[in-house]
Each structure stands twice: as C-alpha cells, then as structure tokens.
Structure 1
Amino acid sequence: MASITPELIKYMAKARATKLPDPVLAKAKHHILDTLAAMVSGSVLKPGVLARKYVEQQGGPPEAQVVGSSMVISAVNAAIANGMMAHADETDDSNGSAGIHPGCAVLPASLAMGEREDISGVELINSVVLGYDIGSRTTRALGRNEMRARNHLPFSIGGTMGAIAAAGCLAGLEEEQYRDLLSYGAQQASGIMTYPRDVEHIEKAFIFGGMNARNGVMAAEMIQMGFTGVYDTFDGDGNFLVAYADNPKGEELIKELGTRFEVMGTNIKKFCTGFPIQSPAEGLLILINKYDLKPADIKSITARLPESGAHTVNDREMPDINLQYLFAVALLDGRISFEAAHSVERMTEPDVLELRSKVTLIGDPELTHANPEWQSIVEITTTDGRDLKEHVISFKGKADNPLTTDEVADKALDLMEPVLGKTQSEELIDAINNLETLDKIRKLRPLLAV
C-alpha cells in the first residue's frame, strides 16, 4: 500500500485558505464558543488556577493571552494554561466515535499560535476544523477500543496530533514541512489509561488539554524555525501506526478528507458533566417534567448505561462525574446547573444523600453493544406504585441531535457569567458567532480578560 502522507500533507497545507461549507463553519463556531466557555469557567477551578500560576512563572515573550486574565506570555505557555482550563472539569466537547476530546487540545493550540501569528477569525476557524479532522482520524486509524485495550490513551495521542495540525496550519509552512510536523507530533504523542484514578482532575486536565496543546505549538514553532525530522512517520520500520496498533488502518487518516468533517460528528455537552451522564440525565429530566415528579415521589431509580460509562460515573468522588449525586440534584432543582455540578459541599447534604441512596446504576451489556452508541434507560418506581421508564436513543447535544446556536450560547453564558460578568460574556458570544468577520483574533483579548 502506498504511503498516506503525500495526500495528507497536501490537504493540511491548503487548509488555512479553504472555504468551508456553511454548516461546517456554523458548527465550528459552536465548538469554539463552547471550548472558550470551558476555558473561562475552568480558569477559576483548581486545575486552571494551578496552570496559570505555573505559566506565570515561565513567562516568555508576549505572544498569546492566558484566558481569564490579562497575562500575555509565550504561545507555548499560553497553550498549556488554556488547554488545562478547557478541561479543568467535564464541560468540554467530545467525539465519542473517535474517542477523544478535541476542543481542549485543538483550540488552545490554534488560539495561541494564531495570536502569535496575528491571524484572522476565519483562519482560526479553518485551523480548528483541521485539528478536529486530524486528531479524530488519528484515533480511528489506530482504533479507539484497541488503543484502550493496549493501555494507550486516545485522548492525548489523538489530541496531540490534532493540536499539531491546528498550530502547524497557522505557521506558514511549506507543504513538505508538514512531513516534519507530523513526525514531531508522533514523537510527542503519549499517554496511558490511568486517568480515571485522578481524583482532582488536575493531571487529567494536563493530559487531555494542556500537554497536547503545548505539543502542537512547540512542534509548529520548531518546524517554522527550520527544525527537520523523519521524512514519513506513517511508513517504514517502526512507524507511528505500527507503534500504537496491531492492525492499524492508515487509510482512515485520509478517508473522505474535505467531504466528511469531524467537527460535524463531535458532541457538545448540554449538561456540564461527564459525557456518560448526558444521556441518562436527559432521560431523568424528561420523566421529571412529564410526570411532575418531586423528591417525595421517588421510591427508587435505576439507570442503565453502557458498561464503560457506568464504570466512569458510578458514585465518584467528583460531583460532575457522580451520576447518583447529579440525579439527586436534578430531582431537587429540576435542572443540572454548572454550579450544582461542581459543589463538593452539596454532595453530603442530608436531602441529597437520601436521594442518592435511592439510585442504582447498572452497566448493561446490551447498551454496550447498542447502535447508536450511548443509549440509556432510566426506570423510576414512585411511592404510589407507578413504574416509569424512559429509553434515550439520542440525547440533545449529541452530533446527530445538536444544540442550536441559541442553546450553545445559553450554556456558554451559564459558564462565563460568574467569571466575566453578563455584559462581557454576551459581547464575547456575539464576537464568536460572527468570528469569520473578525480581521484579527487579538481583538478578542479584552473580552477574554479579567
């Protein structure tokens, strides 16, 4: 089989000036706004606070802004901080079929490199779309489930390759230099499947977001300066593909490039919680609203999820990935807000503990193998003897059931208003909704500063 690299680098080299289809442009802006909102909200969470403290010590030339501050430092260091902020909790987007969180790796790399290079809004959009395409196709080529089985972390390996594509797109490289860029990305791509044991979400913020964004910007800067590397990292002895997969499908990296855009297949979370909770949370709220359920009406609740998802969110230490806690909050509040999803103190309140004890979570093998993926079933037995059930096939925010522009804006406002205030948040939302008209992305700096 011929190497995939010539076709891949040809596509990457043209991406910065490509005119995107209107639906792709609109969806990309949704993901940019959603990820920026995650950065803003994450700037005051522990991973974001630590990241900002770290990069402030590192400093560097004034190239790119640290979101949630007026600090302008080196692009590499800004990418680290903004990437960690973007995944400071479980607010950011995800591509379930590819098995990665593209936004927290790709946008911080694009934003930092873009500010350094003084690019326009449309160039930022194009670089983000390319990053989603390459990052997600990387894990498809290696096999999402196969990577996990081999203890390779798809999020960081795909995230790094997406970030180097996004940053490299803005570095003014010649087509042949993308060979070197891909090689530097492949050498940095790493990660193991220990992340569920990170109870404070700090290392996870780094390996999902900050590390990958840093890798991308650093590789792009090096190649821009004239660093050289291996001619074809996807071909020959010991290549990237065979290093990470027993049966790699390299053709996935170039399959339908330019006609199938991975951003269109990426989910935006309606709720600021771990992805496996999105579907059952919608099912619970449907039942609450349909039958006007109150906490006193609940005798028991059973939630059925795919097995891996159930393992991820079963009675965890962190509130935003604890299904039992979030079900209790939904019953008490009638909604799941960002504030509630991040309140450790509320997890042990008596009324919450009482409702948590009534929730049983089951990893269901049938749902593990169901198509489409990530279905859930919520079953409620009421105190007056009714048995209620909701089977969620596709939930709001999933790629096949996307949030509207207004719904994305509402989520972003909920995340950003406590940090930026309502007026500044609304101005930022408007700017991103019209990002393709912005001549310089540096004009976003006042709107991202605190």
Structure 2
Amino acid sequence: MLQCAAACSMLPVLGAKHAFAADASPSSSQDDTGITAQLARYIVAARDKPLPDAVLIECKNHILDTFGAMVSGSRMRPGMLATQYVRSLGGAPQASVVGADLRTSTVNAALANAMCAHSDETDDFEPVTKAHPGCSTVPAALALGEAQGVSGAAFVRAVALGYDAACRLLMALGPDLVRASHRSAEGTASTFGALGAAAALARLDERQTRYAISYAAQQVSGLWSWVKDRDHIEKAFDFAGMGARNGVMAATMVQSGMTGVDDVLDGTHNLFIALSSKPQPQAMIDQLGGRFFVTETAIKTYSVGYPIQSPLDALLTLRRQYRLTPDNVRTVVVKVPPDAIGIVGDSAMPDVNCQHMVALALVKGAVSFADSHDVALMRDPQIQAQLAKVSVVADPKLSDPAAPRGGIVEVTLTDGRTVSHYTRFPPGTKENPLSVAQVNEKARDLMEPVLGQQKTAQLIARINALEHVANVADLRPLFTA
C-alpha cells in the first residue's frame, strides 16, 4: 500500500458536494454521497493527478508487460482470429491492431488487442481477486489513447485507474462469492478495468462518468465455463476482449451524448446486490488515491497459468540446489491450493497443465515462451516419461489469503532422500518483485520474434519513459506491422 502527498491530495474530493445542472436527466438520482458518485468523482480528479513515483514505475512495468503479451499473442491463434474478425468488420480508422497493418474503430481495436493480450498465459494477475487486469485495461487505454492523441502521462494514469476499478469491483463483490454463482470473476472485472481507463481518457465529466459506469455495469458478464475451453480462444474473449470492448463502448457511447442511470452501484437493482450475496460496496472506494492495485498485481515470470508459477519456481530451485536430473528423480509431488486443481490440474493446453510444465522444467531446466506453448512437447517421449513421475495434489493448507498462489514441490530421489521447497510468493509478486531490467528482458523475449530487434528496443525504451511521450499515437509504428 502506497501513500504520498500527491495521492492523498485527491482524497478530499471524494467527500465534496457536487450540484447537478437544473436540466438533469430524469434518470438522475442527484445523490452525491453514493458509491457511484464517489467513484466517478475520483476518476475525474485522478486522471490529471501525477502518480506517486513508485506507482508510476510499476504502472509502466505492467504496460510494457501487457504490450509483450499483445505482441506475442498477435501470432497465436486467438489473436490471429480476433484480428481476422475485426478486419472483416471494417470501421473508421481510429486505432491500430497490434502486430497488424490494420486500423479500425476504437471498440474493434480494443477487442482485438485484448484478445491478443490473453492469447496465452503471459499477461499479469492480481493474486487476491485473481483478476487479470492488464489484458483488458491496457488495450482499452491504447485504443482510446491513440484515437484521441493523448499524452503518455495521461495514458499511464488511465491504466492505473483501470487496475483499481477492475480489482476493487471484485473486492466489493467478493471473488469467491462470484465464483460460487458460476460466474467468471475475471470476466466480471475486465469490463470495469477497461471502463476506468476509457472514462478517464474520454474526459467524461462526473455525471457522464456515472452514466458510463452504468453502461459498463449492464455489460458485466462472464461464466466460469471458460475452464472447459480447450483452445484458449473463448477464454481470450472472456478474460480480455469482452471487457475491453465493453469498457470502450460504455465510455464512447456516453461521450457521444447518451445518458443513463447515475446510481447503478447504489440504487434499486444495483450491480452489487445483483451479483453478490454478501457485497461490501465500501471496498469499491476504500483508500482510493492511497492504495493502487497496479502495484499489487503480479507480473508472471513464466508464460503459464498463474497457479503454476510457484510450482515451477520451487522445482527449478530444487533442480539447481540438488542438481536434479531425470535420472536421479524418482517422484515429484506438487501441492497447490484446492481451487487451482480445476484450472491447471489436467488441461489439453500445455501452458495451463501443471503436471506437464513441471516435467518439462525437470527435463530442460528452464521454461521458455516457445516451450510452454509447444503442444508437440506434450507427446515428447522424454517429457512423458518424467510426467509419469509427477502428481499434482490439492493441499488445503495452501488456501492462505495472504499468499493465495503458493506452491510446494516434494521430490524423492533415487537414493531415497526427499527434498522439498515452498514458494510462497513467486517472482513477480509485490512481495518478490521483478526489476525494470527483468521486465524489459521478458518483454524483449516476447516481442523480438514479431517486431524485430530494433523496433522492440525502441518500443521498450519509449514505454520506460512513457510519461514523457507527447502523443501515444507516436508509438503506432513501433507495435504495428
């Protein structure tokens, strides 16, 4: 949790009164004290407030990390199909599709780029809510930012707002309560992440922002059935494309003059009571301006499902410490939180199959982006031989709210010894953060095969200094084909 004078100077505005004009819409409740009003007031105020230095650095890290996911994802099947789809729609040339020679409407660009961002498991992850805020928030901000020619500083602040809106919505609803109703917490959060960024960049006033929140709330959706998606295509839509599209659409519809309900988080039939059996609405606004969820969101070290991050770190730590090889390992027991089993326990996709990824790491001693997505390796005889040694089990003791994605690996050696390692916080979490140089290196690995060495280096440098970029549209030649 980060505090600073600049951030705290935003807080008094939350309690300020605001009088609507006399010609207020009939749908207006004219209540300035509710959650909807306070959130809208904060979005309007925060879009022009400098971020604390530490938050600025982390936000740029997450933007770069998401660019890496978008660029690499543009060459994966979900991203390619999304690009093909929006190309068929046409649309005014307002914003660019990453990795392509295509400009289309802001809504279409947000949809395609977001699906690119979650074409695999490269994008970031907030461990408490289990939201994936970057893959919807950054593409939404990029589409509107490019179309409206906003500054890099405004872009960064909008992204920070999006992370807050996405994660706070789940905090208010209760992530486990959302999932208990068969809904996708990730899909639920993604629309609000995009809305937070888009409303800021559209420069909606307070009343318009309240309307946009309502348009976004009407579109909040997502079922937990995504766990059955074997191709990661619908999942890319559920986690990212749907939310980015919804958020940009909500902001631009209101920007065009549409009005709406201004108390969707407070009044009768409000979003919280519709989606949660025990909502905590105050969580939507608690410590706004002092707590920034972009600093609490983890950047993945490995391009695999988040529940696999800790097991991989633990296995590779043991491999280095005890010089493990396929020849001296008898069995490997991987312990994960119970809720992780349904996500990474037995998947046809290599990057979300814990057993396969651990076997691969044992054989190769590392996990590259290419290897984590190589379906052919799931049939490799050497890896299959090691996979037979690996079991993945649920450990209720790992259901720790303070460390919700920890993992334990126990290895029994052929000489009878058993060694184990517990990774409570994998690299990339706020407790075990990656440096700017490490984030740069990850992004370079993801982007160079698509953009080439020179453009990748230039794009990384520009994003590292994003607050000094005069116009986000100037980045276009660096991320398009």
Unaligned runs of 5+ in 1: none
Q: 2:63–2:138: 8 Å Cα contact kept in structure 1?
A: yes
Match in the other structure for 1:443: 474
Amino acid at match of 1:309: A
Q: Write out aligned runs for 1:272-351 (5 A).
A: 272-351=303-382
1:311 positional shift:
2.6
Unaligned runs of 5+ in 2: 1-30
Structure 2 residue 260 is the aligned partner of structure 1 residue 223: no
Distance 1:370 1:111 in 2: 33
Q: Which moved more, 1:310-319 or 1:40-49?
A: 310-319
Amino acid at match of 1:348: R
1:393 positional shift:
1.6
Structure 2 residue 88 is the aligned partner of structure 1 residue 49: no
Q: 1:304–1:376: 8 Å Cα contact kept in structure 2?
A: yes
1:310 positional shift:
2.5
Deviations 1:112-164 (A, max 9, x none): 01111110111110000000011110010000001100112211111101111
Match in the other structure for 2:165: 134
1:73 positional shift:
1.0
Structure 2 residue 183 is the aligned partner of structure 1 residue 152: yes
TM-score by length of 2: 0.92
1:370 positional shift:
6.2
Amino acid at match of 1:108: P
Structure 2 residue 416 is the aligned partner of structure 1 residue 385: yes
Distance 1:6 1:209 in 2: 26
1:74 positional shift:
0.8
Match in the other structure for 2:219: 188
Distance 2:111 2:425 in 1: 34
Match in the other structure for 2:234: 203
Distance 1:259 1:215 in 2: 27
Match in the other structure for 1:122: 153
After TM superposition, the runs of 4+ consecutive aligned structure 1 residues lying more than 4 A away are: none
Q: 2:210–2:263: 8 Å Cα contact kept in structure 1?
A: yes
Match in the other structure for 1:33: 64
TM-score by length of 1: 0.98
Structure 2 residue 241 is the aligned partner of structure 1 residue 176: no
Q: Describe the shift of the 1:370–1:241 C-alpha distance in structure 2 as closer, same or farther (beyond 3 A).
A: closer
Q: 2:122–2:300: 8 Å Cα contact kept in structure 1?
A: yes
Amino acid at match of 2:207: E
1:382 positional shift:
1.1
1:315 positional shift:
2.9
Distance 1:192 1:329 in 2: 31
Q: 1:311–1:363: 8 Å Cα contact kept in structure 2?
A: no
Q: 2:227–2:342: 8 Å Cα contact kept in structure 1?
A: no
- 1:260 aligned to 291, 299, 304, which one? 291
Q: Which moved more, 1:2-11 or 1:64-73?
A: 2-11
Distance 2:270 2:480 in 1: 43
Amino acid at match of 2:285: I
Structure 2 residue 50 is the aligned partner of structure 1 residue 4: no
State the percentage of identical aligned residues. 44
1:215 positional shift:
0.5
Aligned-residue RMSD, C-alpha: 1.2
Distance 2:341 2:315 in 1: 16
Structure 2 residue 401 is the aligned partner of structure 1 residue 373: no
Amino acid at match of 2:451: L
1:263 positional shift:
0.4
Match in the other structure for 1:403: 434
Distance 2:356 2:294 in 1: 31
Distance 1:21 1:236 in 2: 34
Amino acid at match of 2:399: T
Structure 2 residue 110 is the aligned partner of structure 1 residue 89: no
Distance 1:169 1:93 in 2: 22
Distance 2:212 2:402 in 1: 37
Q: 1:68–1:449: 8 Å Cα contact kept in structure 2?
A: yes
1:331 positional shift:
1.6
Q: Which moved more, 1:296-305 or 1:369-378?
A: 369-378
Structure 2 residue 77 is the aligned partner of structure 1 residue 62: no
Deviations 1:352-381 (A, max 9, x none): 100000001111111124642222110101
- 2:138 aligned to 76, 89, 107, which one? 107
Structure 2 residue 272 is the aligned partner of structure 1 residue 237: no
Q: 2:167–2:189: 8 Å Cα contact kept in structure 1?
A: yes
